[in-house]
Structure 1
């Protein structure tokens, strides 16, 4: 059997932590690596137990979940950890800040258990978890903030087809939707996305979306 995905749970409410831990530990392919109630403890514990995924609340004491995420998964971190932000706050500002800090996904606490488990597995596999509608609304709202830092699109090390795929990713389309739009197979789309991430040194689709807006590929 393959090694279970190790999950660190950070939430300041003991009852929420216990509930999440119970859901995770009931899965044969997942295990709880640790639990904590504040952001500072999450950073310290993650460095000790080396989880595959951190399930992180946003509003937690000592250090909030955004800053903790930045220290665990942000740019320049030597051994980044995948972070899935789970919160009661359905605010674009939190989503934007969490993803900018390095989070790989975002879920609300009222999501059903199967969606949480899907989110953990998705993030653990190196993919991003963000609903396409949320992507479009979020990046559209904050495009003015994130676009100015990049250079002209013509200087990107991408082929015309890869650039086209990147634009569609930034529009929030899934691999299946991109495949239908370009009349190619989903497997081919997956290959294109992998090449794009490698060439641009990006971690996942979320970073690809932000990159596309920074370089003016999407308006």
Structure 2
């Protein structure tokens, strides 16, 4: 059961959190601060680098209601998409997001249901988590306008009917990208050269009609 809290309305059920970040200090600091804020129980913390290599581990262990993801880590949005695939129905909230609109749109495209910037306070993060659990997302009017433009653009986009499917190798590369691996790590895993991986990534982006690596996991 989720702990819903919007503004000053609180329930007696604590919201169980999983915190994912590469930096131990961030994980411990955010965990302690949110527990002190009240209404939250940290069910676990994970190193984002380990989670990217073994995302299934995030879906095991003690159950949790919300994942807090450090979005400042490389390929964090790809990890968010992979996490949603392994733990469907669990909302993902990002922290450490850059201040630009493009970063906010990228978070939304990756499936985050809430996010706060690098200058946000613990109180703002707690409020964002509570709103996300309640099914609400707080956006600026300008960002809402950009989202409307994006939806309108997508609704008028008609990819060619004869799009070529991913080859077996491209599918392998795409799966590893969705797990957050870099081109160098993919090359080592598949025994191919980095330049070959780069070519595969270019073909995958074209075939899936996406512009960012972080969106590949969403389209698989």
Report the secondary structure of 2:44's partner residue: strand
Gaps of 5+ in 1: 151-219
Alpha-carbon distance in structure 2 between the residues aligned to 1:78 and 1:26: 27
Alpha-carbon distance in structure 2 between the residues aligned to 1:133 and 1:8: 31
- How many residues were matched structurally? 145
Alpha-carbon distance in structure 1 between the residues aligned to 2:156 and 2:77: 23
Gaps of 5+ in 2: 1-10, 159-220
Tell me if structure 2 keeps the 8 A contact 1:104–1:129.
no
Residue in 2 that maps onto 1:117? 126
The two structures have a TM-score, normalised by structure 2, of 0.56
Residue in 2 that maps onto 1:52? 65
Q: Kindly tell me: are residues 31 and 122 of structure 1, through their superposed partners in 2, closer, same or farther at Cα, counting changes over 3 Å?
A: same
Q: Which one of 128, 143, 159 corresponds to residue 137 of structure 2?
A: 128
Higher relative contact order (CA 8 A, sep 6+): 2
Q: Kindly tell me: are residues 145 and 15 of structure 1, through their superposed partners in 2, closer, same or farther at Cα, counting changes over 3 Å?
A: farther
CA RMSD of aligned residues (A): 2.7
Alpha-carbon distance in structure 2 between the residues aligned to 1:78 and 1:8: 12
Q: Deviation digits for residues 175-196 of structure 1, max 9, x if unmatched? A: xxxxxxxxxxxxxxxxxxxxxx
Alpha-carbon distance in structure 1 between the residues aligned to 2:153 and 2:50: 28
Tell me if structure 2 keeps the 8 A contact 1:73–1:103.
no
The two structures have a TM-score, normalised by structure 1, of 0.56
- Larger Rg computed on CA atoms: 2
Tell me if structure 2 keeps the 8 A contact 1:73–1:101.
no
Say whether residues 1:3 and 2:16 are aligned partners: no
Cα offset, 1:54, TM superposition: 1.0
